[in-house]
Structure 1
Amino acid sequence: MADGPNSLLSFLTLFLVLLSCGSRHVDGRILKSITLSEEDDDVIDCIDIYKQPAFDHPLLKNHTIQMKPSSSPSGIRGGELFSNTFEKLFECPEGSVPIRRHRTDFPPKVNPFAPQATRLNFNNSFLSTVGHEYANVEVRGGRYFGSHAMLNAWQPLTSGRDISISQLWVTAGPYENLNTVEAGWIANNKVKDTTIFVYWTRDGYENTGCYNLNCPGFVITNRAHSPGFRITPLSTFNGEQRGIALTIHKDKKSGNWWVELNGEAIGYWPGSIFTSLQGNADRLIYGGEISNSNPDGHHTTTQMGSGHFAEGGFKKAAFVGNIQYIDESGKAKDPESLISTVTNPACYNLKIAPRSSVYGTHFYFGGPGYSDKCP
């Protein structure tokens, strides 16, 4: 290359063009970048499907991608519970999958938005109250190969780094080597939106697992939807209800645990990264969770669900409905009973409702957090 100011100017011009188009990354992973609007602070990077973060996991070096489940559960309950939510706004090119990042992060970080890991204590009372509070129901006592439910989605107020969640857990094993796969929606101040999330661990949240793509493990297969994507529009109090249908199920041919969002597969956790979950799950959990950092010496003001207690019912409280488990034959069935756990009823509560033809097995939960009754 010839020396001189003209050559330097040409080089800088080329570099800026490549940077601005968003289709270049130092490791060659990004095939295309999409900005949904000028007001949106986030960018969707379309990553080469074979170079996505999952394959940095040492157990997945020679993993063959399963592009779709070999089958999906039969008998899944649907229903017109929610108005259309989580629309397909774009689609990545063939051979790539979408990952969300903040537009100022270049080169992109893997899911820079992820909050602190959820930590549960699977002792005899099931849930630890240290740092986290819950309003959940459990299905247990059987051999489960998946879980399904519909969740209405809200934008709860959150304080500091505290989080507010509505989700499904699919778990196996005792606490010391607990395996869990999880999916739902999450809100916190760092993300500023209510977003889809997934989570996994194979050792009771000690050294393995993470939210979304914050560590290698979850394999994305969908070209339009991915963990970390925001849900819009959301439910309004006493108004239109928006939500998501989530199914986590084991593919019996591959052993992978798939996540389906509104009936569409978005990706999976390979069975090879687990121990207990290489077989069946033995406990299913549904419901709400918040983290409580006790800001200013009192309980967090972080809301659970809609921020309203369960007694308000549909359109007012957070809702989990059409709850089903997947049996060994791949059929979705209604549970015979639910076991409820509320760790701090002065701040958040839960109400199991009578089973109905529209909502199936369902319950309501939520609460405002800090108040005169929740010091």
Structure 2
Amino acid sequence: MSSLIKMTLVLNLLHLLFSTASVRSNQSVLPIRSFKIGENATYDCIDINKQPGLGHHLLQNHTIQMKPSVSRHELKNHIENNKSYSKKIGCSDGTVPILRISNEYNTKAQFFAEKYLHPLTGDTPGVHIVGVRSRAGPYRGVEAWYNGYKLSIERNQASYSEMYIGSRLNNQVNFIQAGYIINPSFFGTDQLWTYGYFKGKDGKGCYNTACDGFIQVSRKIPIVQPININPGDPDWSRWSIHEDKVTGNWWLTQLIKNAPSVDIGYWPKELFNILNKSANIVGVGGIVRASQNSSPPMGNGNFPVGTRKNSAMFTNIEVLDSNYSSHKMDHFPTEIIVDSPQCYNIRIGKVQPFHRTRLGFFFNYGGPGGHSCGV
């Protein structure tokens, strides 16, 4: 039986198993306002105190934190975005934008949460990783400029550009990841999306606001949204995942050049058991999931050769140490991950001190994928 048929059967079974659970709390609450910004992207402005994230069984007594105890807004950004920041969504005070989801979407979220790709554990068949990580924690956060591209991805493939922070103890893992994703089987389109994901103390994980856990706080920028770009054009973002100094919650902040930065929301500390007091692993890079016959492109589909604009990039990569002090990632012991060099690779950047573009610690990465990437 082919992997495609197996996946279809599993998705159908999950649809039956989770048909009751798929009635989301945001769908039972009358939205104050709705925004449609794309064919598969309608957002409902939901009472912040009735958002789906609060339905998690570990958050029954949770009090929403409206902003971080210490702002990351003072960071200076040095990469010019290819487009200016524009407001697409604007929910009123006391409400937050939640992506409207269908039963089918929720079923797929459950499936892909169970099969989620992450670089904290051992090798997974059909998964390939390129990037840089450090396992010399404790750490309080990670942040980077990075770009995403529109790619040609088959239905049963996925390609991510991500930053992550997590902890591993024996057979347990807790982690948080955020960045860009192309996953046609999940979203129903080969469009580029922003995303966030966590795996917590009960061994279960969740994408975005598709199930309980993440607390959306921003009225303007949701954790998940489609990015409309032309093939070959990069979309730049700078996101920060950082532990709150007072509450221990893990915040996701988008830092925007020439505009106020936005605290999108957070994953409460109650969700974690080995990530509730710092993390021991941080990393950034690309990751792909192959279909039965081939692996998809990573980054912008190019190997990191030529100028730094020819391939995908992570730059200004910074890590918060145990004292919440920010350092370039190479301040810590780092390791390079390349598990399929015939299909994907990495090139660590070098910038002369007199260079007027302050890229900090950066690297180019990616590749075309193909039929010979291995397992």
The TM-score bracket by the shorter chain reads 0.7 to 0.9
- 2:213 counterpart of 1:213: no
Q: Which runs of 5+ in 2 are unaligned?
A: 1-25, 256-260
**Which amino acid letter does the alignment assign opposite residue 186 of structure 1?**
I
Q: State how far apart, in whole Å, the 2-side matches of 1:315 and 1:35 are.
A: 33
Q: Which runs of 5+ in 1 are unaligned?
A: 1-24
Counterpart for residue 138 of structure 2: 143
Q: State how far apart, in whole Å, the 1-side matches of 2:64 and 2:244 are.
A: 13
Normalised by the length of structure 2, the TM-score is: 0.81
Counterpart for residue 56 of structure 1: 55
Q: How much has 1:150 moved relative to structure 2?
A: 0.6
- 2:238 counterpart of 1:242: no
For the 8 Å contact 2:156–2:290, the answer to whether it is kept is no
Q: State how far apart, in whole Å, the 1-side matches of 2:223 and 2:315 are.
A: 22
Change (3 A) 1:76 1:369: same
Q: State how far apart, in whole Å, the 2-side matches of 1:167 and 1:225 are.
A: 18
Q: CA deviation digits over 1:136-194, x for unaligned, max 9?
A: 11123132100010111101221112110000010113252111011101012223321
For the 8 Å contact 2:195–2:223, the answer to whether it is kept is yes
Change (3 A) 1:252 1:164: same
Aligned partner of 1:333 among 327, 332, 345: 327
Normalised by the length of structure 1, the TM-score is: 0.81
Counterpart for residue 33 of structure 1: 34
**Bigger shift: 341-350 or 265-274?**
341-350
Aligned partner of 1:158 among 142, 153, 160: 153
Structure whose alpha-carbon radius of gyration is higher: 1
Q: State how far apart, in whole Å, the 1-side matches of 2:105 and 2:49 are.
A: 18
Q: State how far apart, in whole Å, the 2-side matches of 1:268 and 1:313 are.
A: 36
Aligned partner of 1:299 among 294, 297, 300: 294
Counterpart for residue 233 of structure 1: 229
**Bigger shift: 67-76 or 207-216?**
67-76
Q: State how far apart, in whole Å, the 2-side matches of 1:224 and 1:115 are.
A: 29
CA RMSD of aligned residues (A): 2.7
Counterpart for residue 166 of structure 2: 171
Runs of 4+ in structure 1 over 6 Å off: 111-115, 372-375
**Which amino acid letter does the alignment assign opposite residue 28 of structure 1?**
V
Q: State how far apart, in whole Å, the 1-side matches of 2:48 and 2:162 are.
A: 27
- 2:359 counterpart of 1:363: no
Identity of aligned residues (%): 29
- 2:351 counterpart of 1:352: no
For the 8 Å contact 1:29–1:52, the answer to whether it is kept is no
Residue correspondences, number: 334
Q: CA deviation digits over 1:87-109, x for unaligned, max 9?
A: 3212012111112236xx4x996
For the 8 Å contact 1:169–1:180, the answer to whether it is kept is yes
Q: CA deviation digits over 1:282-331, x for unaligned, max 9?
A: 1101000010122xxx323x211101111144322110000000123333
Change (3 A) 1:115 1:314: farther
Counterpart for residue 277 of structure 2: 279
